[in-house]
Chains A and B, each alone.
Chain A
Amino acid sequence: MSKYAIASWKSVSRRRLLGLLAAQLVAPVLAGKARAASMDEIKKRGLIVATEDDFRPFEFVKDGAPTGFDNEMLADLRKYATFEIKQQILPWTGILAGVSTGKYDVAITAAIITKERKKSLDFTSPIADATHYYVKRKGDSSIMSVKDLNGKTVGVQAGSALLARLPELATMLEKTGGRLGKVVEYTSYPEAYQDLALGRVDYVVNTVINLNALVAEKPAVFELGQAVSGKSFPAWAVAKGNKDLLDYLNGFIAKQKENGRFAELQKKWFGKSFPDLPVAFEPEF
C-alpha cells in the first residue's frame, strides 16, 4: 500500500484501498492451509470432539447434560482412550466446517456419508442404518404410500444429506407419473416437525431412526411413512486423510461391536440394533 493512497484518501479510489486491506486480511488465512492434527499431537493435547445439541436420538441435551447414542459412545470412548477428550457442543451448521478446517478432530454425530462430503472428510464405520423415510401428520389420508407424495410440500434440513438425496425420491415419483412438490428447507428438524404439525408442509423426510424416535414420542401427532431412498449410513467424520485417527476410531467401534455394547446402545436409542452394518461404506450419491 503506497503512502500516496492514504494521503489523498478522498480522491483515490476508496474501493481499491478497501480491496487491498481485505486482501491483506484474507491472504494469510487462505495461505495457512488447514491441517489435521496427527495422532501424536492428539495424544499430547487431547482429542477435540464436536457433537450436536439438537439431533435426537443421536445427540441432544436433557436437563443441561448431553445425552443420546453418540454421547454414550463418547463416554465409552473416554474410558477406552489413553488421552484426554475435550467435547464441544454446537449446532450442525459449524460442525463439518470445523472438522475440515482442523478446529475439531472428529465430529461424533450422525453425519450421513455422501460423495460430496467424501471430498473433504473421511468417515468411520457406519453407526446405524439411516435409510430416509417420510413422516406425515397422523390420520392424513391423502398420503397412503410414496406415490401420494406427488406434488406435496416437503420439509427437510438445509445442507443435509436428506436434501441432497431428494432427487432419488423425485425419480421414484416420476416412475408413477408424479413429481416432487415444493421443498421447504429448515435449519433444524424440530422446526420442520412443528410446521408439519401446523400443516405448513405435508411431509418431512428424515432418517428412519430420527423419525422412529419422533413417532414414539408423539404418536398422536405424527405417523411414519415409507422409505424414500436407497441405503444410507451415518458415521463420524474426521478431516480428509487423517488415517491414523480414522483407524483408531474404527478400532474403538469394532471393539464396541464385539463386546455387544454397540447393539445395546442402538437398541436403547434407536429401538432396534443393526447387526449387519458395513465396516466401510462407499456412497453412490
Chain B
Amino acid sequence: MTASDIIAILQGAVVTVTLSLVGILIGLPIGLGLALLRWGNVPVLAPIVAVYVSMLRATPLVTLLLLLFFALPNIGIEIDPIAAAILALVMNTAAFNCEVWRAALMNFPKDQFEAAQSVGMRAAQRFRRIVLPQIVRVSLPGLVNEMSLLIKVTPVLAVVGVVDITRAAVRIGAETYEPLPPFLVAVALYAPIVFFLVSLQRWIERRQAAAEAAA
C-alpha cells in the first residue's frame, strides 16, 4: 500500500463521518418529532407514524437505498447517490430514534407534567424546561447506540457508488490483489470514530451529573 492509498482511505473516512453526522443530525430531531406525534396521540398522524416506524424498522438499509435510488426516478424524481444515501440513512435512523425517544416519553412521570401545568407553564415551555432535559438524559445511551450502529452500516451506501472507508479499502485491495492491509487500516479508522462518539456521551453524562450535584 502506498501513501496515496492511505489518503484514499482517509478520504473515505471523511465521507463516512460526514454522511453519518448528517444522518444523525437530521435523524435525531425527526425521530423526536415522530415520537412526540405518537406520544401526543395526534389523530391521523400518530397511526401513520406507527406504520412508518414498523415498516422502516423491518426494511434492511440496503433494500431501502436501492429502492430509493432506482425507483424514485421512475416516478419522476431524479436523485443522486449522495442524496439517496442521506435520505436512506435519515429515514432509517429516524425510525429507530423515534422508538428510543418514545420509550423515554412514555416513562416520563405524569405528576411532574401536572405540577408544571399547575404553576401555569404553557405547553412549549413545559416541554422545553421540564420534559426535554429529562428525556434527553434517559434517551442518551439508546441514541448513542443507534448512532454507532448508523456509522457501521455506512459501507452499505457503496452499492449506489458512495466511496466510504470500506469501499476505498475494497478498491485498493482490487488494484493490488492484497485486500488485507487496506482492511486493517479501515478497521483502525472505525474504532476511533465510534470511540469519539462514546466519549462524547460520557462527557455529557458527567456534565449532567455535576449539574445535578450542584443543584
With the chains together, A190 CA to B75 CA distance in Å? 37
- Given the known A-B contacts A54-B171, A54-B174, A63-B8, are A194 and B70 also in contact in the complex, defined by CB atoms under 8 Å? no
> Given that A94-B161, A190-B177 are known contacts, is A29 also in contact with B74, CB under 8 Å in the complex?
yes
**A6 interfacial contact with B, CB 8 Å:** yes
Interface size on B, residues (CB 8 A): 38
Q: Between A and B, how many residue pairs show CB distances below 8 Å?
A: 104
B49-89: CB near A (< 8 Å → 1, else 0) gives: 01100110000000000110111011110000100000000
A190 touches B161 (CB 8 A): no
Beta-carbon contact of B160 and A90 below 8 Å: yes
Chain A residues with CB below 8 A from B11, complex form: 64
CA separation between A218 and B177, bound complex, in Å?
Answer: 8
Cβ < 8 Å to B, chain A residues 164-199: 188-191, 193-194
CB neighbours (8 Å) of A88 from chain B are 81, 161
**Interface check B175, CB cutoff 8 A:** yes
Cβ–Cβ < 8 Å partners of B81 in chain A: 88, 90
Q: Which of B8, B70, B167 has the most CB of A within 10 A?
A: B70
Secondary structure call for the B interface: helix
Any A CB within 8 A of the CB of B173: yes
Q: Give the chain A neighbours of B48 by CB distance below 8 A.
A: 21
A residues in contact with B163, CB < 8 Å: 53, 89
Interface hub of B7, B51, B159, B174 (most chain A Cβ within 10 A): B174
Q: Mark A24-52, 1 if CB is under 8 A from B, else 0.
A: 00001100111000000000000000000
On B, residues with C-beta under 8 Å from A are: 2, 4-5, 7-8, 11, 43-44, 47-48, 50-51, 54-55, 66-67, 69-71, 73-76, 81, 158-161, 163, 167, 170-171, 173-175, 177, 179-180
